[in-house]
């Protein structure tokens, strides 16, 4: 009852969505659109679970001396964003809410993203050592592709040809093969879930 | 520990510092990096350069803001060259998000060169279904675009006097983030046979070199690198050159680190093997 | 899943915009040149049929070329397809097609609403009349062709998707065969995967060091199949850590993922016989957006110094940020994703990577249950079928036989 | 730039430096920015969900438009709240079941189409010819098949099969190397944008 019925529901909804794909009628389209709305609605209404988890963890950390300040900052940031947006109009540019978005959220996000410039270099330094055949292939290909930016005269012309061949032959073939594998693997996992063979994600007691 | 052994275990912060400097230095002291002009870029420059003042060039700008950084510089370089030569320019966009972008670029550059809309250049606008729009323009520009982007009828604009379709333009340059290039190849060049060149993002460019050898394209400008080459030819060092400086230096730094890493690895390998350790 | 809705909405937009915009220039009929050039002949034999595989909002118009298209005067450059809801009603242009084309698909599936009227909407079982005008290179329009009409029908099966149906059936067939044979106790061989073998060592290492394990499920939702694969791996990992009494930290960025991850870990502890060890606070929500989430996970890595980091699920640009930070913290890292663009970074920066399909196979590997291993065999047989189609298909198309290609071509 | 914008950009510049300080080592400034952004991001996302999604998908349909069938997912969503209770949390599994059922059911066909059939179709669509282009197509077919062999789980990778599989993983590594090398440019550009932002702010502060 606590586990079997949910597993059965997974199977029924999953099978229904599978069948729906092959039926082009208006009803079938309605079911598809509506089911996507279901997922969205469940996701929205589950949001309090996330907020609760976050708030609970940080309120309890308010008692820990070293953590107190940081948890207070987090809770304050959250509260400010909520309190500055009590009307829908606050989502338009010019409100304090959107200024927080522009001057706090956007720059931090962009900066974290830009850390990749450093990390791509350090990862290359560490990983691109010719310590095995595989590592050597990885290293050489990346090397050739990166070389396209260096002004090397006639070598550049040759290099560009090599890069374009790498992209249009081995790289494309690999992407296709990996995608086909993923297609089969994802399908197998989905079918296992629908048939109830894979049910570890669903609790029981 | 020898120097090379230390190099193997280099503190990653030195790498971070090198990358940081590679980006910061060109920001403070901008400089030009040496750019080798590739033949496929030079051909486009020469093509435009050999045109006479008053002749017509058709420029199609088919990208959206997401590939602006890479493609704006080449669009600007080409338009600069064309305005400088007093060519007449026709602009069109087949990208949904293109119109605002084209408006911005063209009106800004026209002002720089004292060019008048409707006399020296015209922006036709945007229509969906690229294939059909291209074919319709092959019949008459007025079929898909009875009025231009600003709502002025084509026939009321002096630039359109005696201009009907692709037969009346010298060539077409298509600047694109990808998919629309195929339409220009198949329905444009394929059907009407006008000279066609493309400017395209670096990643996508690889797929189009085959059309150079087949003669369907007379030139390609690939990504930031191509843009920098074009800027060098035109003599307007702009955003392409600036970006190229960052990229060349950063790529060089990473490549040097990789070489260093391998030198250190091979130099210390023997010692490590004797000591029975691995990496 | 979102992609599909996006594709559909873009299509709707085009169907709507296209109908209006393309029609525009033609209605203002361009005046002929002064020399009064001759008009082309209209196309002939116009037929209208229901558009198959749709809910009844489209028709297909076909015709034979005008005698002046590619022959005769050879002056036709365009066809204008005109439509009306009655034989003598007002005909409006539905689209223009270049010469040599003989087919037009007329679709409008945007029902009118109170705010946006759409007189062109084609409801199901509606009747429409068509005629076609040929246009010459001098913009001279021919007489309209004879009238043809058709009715939109709602179809019950999408024949274009038939290959996918066969795919599902064949795959499920293999699955059932190998699961049954596995249940009978048939030994199944699976080749070792280094990423999987590393899992036990990694858990052992965490236990020895007395440090936690960090399990990152990525940025997917609980409905994404890669994230679900992540749950199944989390379950196997949690079960073993419960036996060794090692802590598993699972920071998540979606409330539904939070709920499922909590259920997964709790069940694993229950099955390991240690429900008392389960602490729901170890599976926690950090924040919703990509990079703030990454910043928080980075913080956890550097402060908790986990012995092992798992990255299993959907990852975007953050893959390398996480992997490099984990490396700074000195953790052993095992990654797996089906995001092809991120695989190079995981391969370069983590110790073991499950590449694409291996992510989906990991759960079966870790469970060691015969039934689960049977599904791997089914995947392999399907892969063999795919490989045979690739080889035979390449030979067939080279020898000029398109049948195999036709068989696997899905026409949406 | 107004004073307000200058201050706003000053905060943004400070936070940018806080994040960059992480590169040296974890420190209180980074931790501050990290926690602040976690709170702000959650608050922003919550309100965005509330005003757009919740209003449009729950409130409006049920209470304003009379689309009462939206009550079903709304109830399933509210059921998720049973997770606050230890005793009744199992009820939330019903909602999870729908969520995962819909996700898996839709995935099967989406994955088979985009990942399998489309790739398969593209691989066998072009005839081989006796020239460079034909050779490349031939190589693509060989590479696809070998890379697929690498993914075989239930056969020992030995002998000829092992050799093909080995070739497969070599090709895969070429693909990954190319992917890595191609991405460097975009990542550098991201950093350049941040540096230009900082430079612009400094110029504004001291120059204007």
Contact C123, C57 (CB under 8 A): yes
Confidence (pLDDT) at C36: 61
pLDDT grade, residue A3 (50/70/90)? Answer: confident
pLDDT grade, residue A200 (50/70/90)? Answer: confident
Residues of B with CB under 8 A from a CB of A: 10, 12, 15-16, 18-20, 23, 33-36, 38-39, 202-203, 205-207, 209, 222, 225, 244, 247-248, 250-255, 257-258, 260-262, 265-266, 279
Confidence (pLDDT) at C30: 44
3-state helix, strand, coil in chain A (%, to 5): 80, 0, 20
Q: Tens digits of per-residue pLDDT, C371-400? A: 899 999 999 999 999 999 999 999 999 999
Mean pLDDT value of segment C226-237: 95
Determine the Cα–Cα distance for residues D82 and B194; give it in Å rounded to an integer: 68
Confidence (pLDDT) at C140: 87
Q: What is the residue-averaged pLDDT of chain D?
A: 93
CB < 8 Å to B36, chain A: 151-153, 156
Q: What is the residue-averaged pLDDT of chain A?
A: 92
Query: Residue B66: pLDDT above 80?
Result: no
Confidence (pLDDT) at B275: 66
Alpha-carbon gap: A104 to the closest alpha carbon of chain C (Å): 11
Could D152 and C380 be called an inter-chain contact, meaning their C-beta atoms sit closer than 8 Å?
Answer: yes
Range with the poorest average pLDDT among C66-70, C112-116, C242-246, C357-361: C112-116
Mean pLDDT value of segment B125-140: 84
Confidence (pLDDT) at A164: 81
Confidence (pLDDT) at C4: 41
> Where in chain D are the domains?
1-66, 67-125, 126-208
CA distances from B188 to B121, B133, B204, C76, D179 (A): 21, 10, 20, 18, 32
Q: Tens digits of per-residue pLDDT, B71-126? A: 999 999 999 999 999 999 999 999 888 888 899 899 999 999 999 999 999 999 99
CB < 8 Å to A138, chain B: none
Determine the Cα–Cα distance for residues C385 and D145; give it in Å rounded to an integer: 11
| CATH number belonging to domain B39-236 | 3.40.50
Q: Tens digits of per-residue pLDDT, C283-322? A: 999 998 999 999 999 999 999 999 999 999 999 999 999 9
H or E, element range at C311 = strand C308-314
> Where in chain B are the domains?
3-31+244-275, 39-236
In the complex, which subunits touch C with 3 or more CB pairs below 8 angstroms?
A, B, D
CB < 8 Å to C347, chain D: 173, 176
Q: Which two tokens stand for residue C113?
A: 């609403």
Determine the Cα–Cα distance for residues B139 and A105; give it in Å rounded to an integer: 51
Q: Tens digits of per-residue pLDDT, A106-128? A: 999 999 999 999 999 999 999 99
Q: Tens digits of per-residue pLDDT, A47-86? A: 999 999 999 999 999 999 999 999 999 999 999 999 999 9
pLDDT grade, residue C115 (50/70/90)? Answer: confident
Determine the Cα–Cα distance for residues C298 and C295; give it in Å rounded to an integer: 5
Could B19 and D191 be called an inter-chain contact, meaning their C-beta atoms sit closer than 8 Å?
Answer: yes
Return the HEC string of chain D: CCHHHHHHHHHHHHHHHHHHHHHCCCCHHHHHHHHHHHHHHHHHHHHHHHHHHHHHHHHHHHHHCCCHHHHHHHHHHHHHHHHHCCCCHHHHHHHHHHHHHHHHHHHHHHHHHHHHHHHHHHHCCCCCCCCHHHHHHHHHHHHHHHHHHHCCCCCCCCHHHHHHHHHHHHHHHHHHHHHHHHHHHHHHHHHHHHHHHHHHHHHHHHHC
Mean pLDDT value of segment C5-20: 39
Alpha-carbon gap: C149 to the closest alpha carbon of chain B (Å): 25
CB atoms within 10 A of CB A52: 16
Confidence (pLDDT) at C7: 40
B73: nearest Cα among B217, B209, B175: B175
Interface test with A, best of B244, B255, B279 (most A CBs within 10 A): B255
Could C356 and A179 be called an inter-chain contact, meaning their C-beta atoms sit closer than 8 Å?
Answer: yes
Could D195 and B203 be called an inter-chain contact, meaning their C-beta atoms sit closer than 8 Å?
Answer: no
Confidence (pLDDT) at A101: 93
Could B132 and C139 be called an inter-chain contact, meaning their C-beta atoms sit closer than 8 Å?
Answer: no
Q: Which of A35, A46, A170 sits opposite D174 (nearest CB)?
A: A170
Confidence (pLDDT) at C29: 43
Q: Tens digits of per-residue pLDDT, C329-344? A: 999 999 999 999 999 9
Query: Residue B51: pLDDT above 70?
Result: yes
Query: Residue C3: pLDDT above 70?
Result: no
Confidence (pLDDT) at D157: 93
Q: Tens digits of per-residue pLDDT, D106-129? A: 999 999 999 999 999 999 998 998
H or E, element range at B76 = helix B68-84
Q: What is the residue-averaged pLDDT of chain C?
A: 88
The pTM for the full model equals 0.88
Q: How far apart are the first and last CA of chain D?
A: 9
Tell me if chain A has a CB within 8 Å of the CB of C291: yes
Could B206 and A164 be called an inter-chain contact, meaning their C-beta atoms sit closer than 8 Å?
Answer: yes
In the complex, which subunits touch B with 3 or more CB pairs below 8 angstroms?
A, C, D
Determine the Cα–Cα distance for residues A38 and B164; give it in Å rounded to an integer: 54
C82: nearest Cα among C110, C56, C63, C109: C63
Contacts of C355 (CB under 8 A, 6+ apart): A178, C336, C343, C347, D151, D172
Determine the Cα–Cα distance for residues B19 and A119; give it in Å rounded to an integer: 10
Domains of chain C (ranges; CATH) run 2-156 (2.60.40.10), 188-368 (3.40.50.1220)
Alpha-carbon gap: A158 to the closest alpha carbon of chain C (Å): 25
Higher-scoring residue by pLDDT: D163, C113? D163
Tell me if chain C has a CB within 8 Å of the CB of A134: no
Q: Tens digits of per-residue pLDDT, C202-213? A: 999 999 999 999
Phi-psi region of B11 (alpha: psi -120 to 50; beta: other; left: phi over 0): beta
Tell me if chain A has a CB within 8 Å of the CB of D59: no
Alpha-carbon gap: D24 to the closest alpha carbon of chain B (Å): 7
What burial class does residue C322 get, using C-beta atoms within 10 Å of its C-beta: 0-12 exposed, 13-18 middle, 19+ buried? buried
pLDDT grade, residue C27 (50/70/90)? Answer: very low
Q: Which of C14, C25, C28 sits opposite B144 (nearest CB)?
A: C25
User: Torsions phi, psi of A86, nearest 5?
Assistant: -85, -5
Range with the poorest average pLDDT among B109-123, B203-217, C58-72, D124-138: B203-217
The percentage of residues in chain B with a pLDDT greater than 90, rounded to a whole number, is 52
Query: Residue C258: pLDDT above 80?
Result: yes
Contact C121, C28 (CB under 8 A): no
pLDDT grade, residue B203 (50/70/90)? Answer: low
Search chain C and give the residue with CA nearest B165.
Answer: C137
Q: What is the residue-averaged pLDDT of chain B?
A: 88
B57: nearest Cα among B216, B221, B170: B170
Complex confidence, ipTM: 0.89
Query: Residue C153: pLDDT above 70?
Result: yes
Query: Residue C52: pLDDT above 50?
Result: yes
């Amino acid at each position: 009852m606590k586990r079997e019925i949910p597993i059965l529901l997974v199977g029924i909804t999953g099978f229904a969505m599978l069948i729906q794909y092959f039926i082009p009628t208006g009803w079938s389209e309605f079911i598809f659109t509506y089911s996507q709305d279901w997922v969205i609605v469940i996701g929205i209404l589950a949001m309090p679970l996330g907020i609760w988890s976050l708030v609970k963890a940080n309120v309890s950390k308010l008692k820990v001396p070293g953590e107190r300040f940081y948890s207070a900052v987090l809770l304050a940031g959250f509260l400010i964003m909520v309190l500055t947006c009590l009307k829908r109009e606050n989502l338009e540019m010019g409100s304090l809410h959107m200024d927080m978005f522009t001057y706090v959220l956007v720059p931090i996000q962009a900066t974290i993203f830009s850390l990749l410039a450093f990390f791509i270099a350090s990862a290359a330094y560490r990983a691109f050592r010719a310590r095995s055949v595989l590592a050597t292939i990885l290293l050489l290909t990346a090397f050739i592709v990166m070389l396209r930016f260096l002004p090397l005269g006639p070598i550049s012309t040759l290099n560009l040809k090599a890069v374009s061949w790498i992209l249009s032959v081995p790289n494309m073939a690999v992407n296709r093969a990996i995608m086909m594998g993923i297609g089969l693997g994802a399908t197998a996992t989905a079918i296992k879930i629908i048939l109830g063979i894979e049910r570890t994600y669903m609790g029981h007691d | 520990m020898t120097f090379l052994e230390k190099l193997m275990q280099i503190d990653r912060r030195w790498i971070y510092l090198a990358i940081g400097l590679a980006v910061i230095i060109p920001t403070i002291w901008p400089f030009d990096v040496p750019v080798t002009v590739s033949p496929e870029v030079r051909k486009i420059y020469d093509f435009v350069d050999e045109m006479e003042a008053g002749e017509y060039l058709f420029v199609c700008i088919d990208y959206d803001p997401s590939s602006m950084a890479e493609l704006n510089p080449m669009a600007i370089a080409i338009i600069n060259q064309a305005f400088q030569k007093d060519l007449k320019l026709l602009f069109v966009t087949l990208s949904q998000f293109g119109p605002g972008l084209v408006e911005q670029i063209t009106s800004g550059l026209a002002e720089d060169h004292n060019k008048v809309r409707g006399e020296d250049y015209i922006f036709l606008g945007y229509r969906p279904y690229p294939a059909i729009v291209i074919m319709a323009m092959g019949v008459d520009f007025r079929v898909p675009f009875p009025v231009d982007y600003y709502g002025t009828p084509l026939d009321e604009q002096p630039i359109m006097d005696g201009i009907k379709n692709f037969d009346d333009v010298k060539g077409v340059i298509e600047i694109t983030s990808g998919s629309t290039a195929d339409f220009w190849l198949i329905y444009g060049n394929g059907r009407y046979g006008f000279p066609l060149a493309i400017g395209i993002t670096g990643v996508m460019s690889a797929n189009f070199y085959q059309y150079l050898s087949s003669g369907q394209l007379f030139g390609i400008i690939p990504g930031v690198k191509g843009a920098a080459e074009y800027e060098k030819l035109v003599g307007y060092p702009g955003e392409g050159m600036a970006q190229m400086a960052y990229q060349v230096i950063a790529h060089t730094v990473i490549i040097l680190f990789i070489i260093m890493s391998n030198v250190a690895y091979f130099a210390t390998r023997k010692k490590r093997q004797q000591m029975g350790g691995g990496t | 899943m979102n992609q599909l809705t996006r594709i559909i909405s873009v299509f709707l937009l085009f169907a709507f915009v296209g109908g209006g915009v393309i029609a525009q220039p033609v209605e203002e009929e361009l005046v002929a040149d002064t020399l009064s050039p001759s008009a082309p002949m209209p196309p002939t034999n116009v037929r209208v049929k229901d558009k198959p595989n749709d809910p009844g909002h489209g028709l297909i118009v076909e015709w034979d070329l005008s005698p002046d298209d590619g022959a005769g005067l050879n002056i036709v450059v365009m066809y204008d397809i005109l439509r009306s809801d009655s034989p003598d009603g007002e005909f409006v242009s539905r689209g223009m097609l270049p010469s040599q084309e003989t087919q037009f698909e007329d679709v409008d599936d945007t029902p009118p609403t109170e705010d946006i009227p759409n007189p062109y909407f084609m409801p199901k079982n509606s009747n429409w009349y068509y005629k076609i005008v040929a246009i010459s290179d001098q913009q001279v329009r021919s007489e309209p062709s004879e009238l043809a009409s058709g009715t939109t029908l709602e179809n019950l099966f999408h024949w274009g998707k038939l290959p996918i149906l066969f795919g599902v059936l064949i795959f499920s067939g293999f699955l059932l065969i190998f699961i049954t044979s596995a249940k009978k106790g048939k030994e199944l061989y699976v080749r070792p995967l280094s990423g999987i073998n590393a899992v036990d060592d990694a858990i052992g290492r965490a236990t020895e060091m007395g440090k936690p394990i960090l399990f990152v499920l990525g940025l997917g939702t609980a409905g994404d199949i890669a994230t679900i694969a992540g749950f199944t791996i989390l379950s196997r990992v949690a079960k073993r850590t419960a036996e060794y009494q090692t802590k598993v930290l699972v920071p998540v960025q979606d409330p539904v993922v939070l709920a499922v991850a909590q259920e997964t870990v709790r069940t694993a502890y229950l099955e390991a016989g240690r429900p008392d060890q389960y602490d729901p606070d170890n599976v926690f929500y950090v924040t919703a957006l990509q990079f703030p989430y990454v910043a928080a996970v980075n913080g956890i890595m550097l402060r908790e110094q986990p012995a092992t980091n798992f990255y299993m699920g959907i990852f975007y640009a953050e893959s390398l940020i996480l992997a490099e930070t984990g490396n700074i913290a000195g953790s052993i890292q095992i990654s797996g994703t089906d995001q092809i663009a991120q695989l190079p970074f995981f391969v370069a920066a983590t110790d073991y990577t499950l590449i694409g399909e291996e992510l989906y196979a990991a759960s079966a590997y870790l469970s060691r249950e015969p039934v689960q291993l049977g599904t791997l065999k089914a995947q392999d047989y399907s892969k063999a079928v795919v490989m045979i189609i690739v080889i035979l298909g390449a030979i067939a198309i080279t020898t000029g036989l398109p049948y195999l290609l036709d068989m696997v071509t899905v026409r949406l | 730039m107004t004073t307000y914008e200058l201050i706003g950009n000053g905060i943004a510049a400070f936070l940018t430096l806080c994040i960059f300080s992480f590169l040296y080592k974890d420190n209180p400034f980074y931790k501050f920015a990290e926690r602040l952004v976690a709170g702000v991001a959650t608050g922003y996302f919550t309100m965005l969900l509330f005003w757009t999604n919740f209003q449009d998908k729950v409130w409006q349909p049920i209470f304003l438009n009379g689309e009462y069938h939206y009550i079903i997912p709304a109830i399933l969503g509210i059921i998720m709240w049973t997770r606050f209770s230890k005793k009744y949390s199992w009820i939330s599994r019903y909602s999870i079941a729908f969520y995962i059922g819909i996700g898996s059911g839709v995935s099967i066909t989406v994955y088979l189409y985009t990942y399998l059939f489309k790739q398969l179709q593209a691989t066998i669509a072009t005839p081989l010819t006796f020239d460079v282009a034909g050779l490349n197509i031939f190589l693509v077919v060989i590479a696809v098949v070998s890379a697929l062999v690498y993914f075989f789980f239930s056969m020992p990778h030995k002998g000829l099969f092992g050799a093909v599989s080995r070739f497969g993983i070599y090709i895969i590594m070429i693909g990954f190397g190319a992917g890595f090398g191609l991405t460097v440019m975009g990542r550098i550009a991201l950093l350049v944008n941040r540096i230009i932002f900082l430079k612009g702010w400094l110029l504004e502060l001291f120059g204007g």
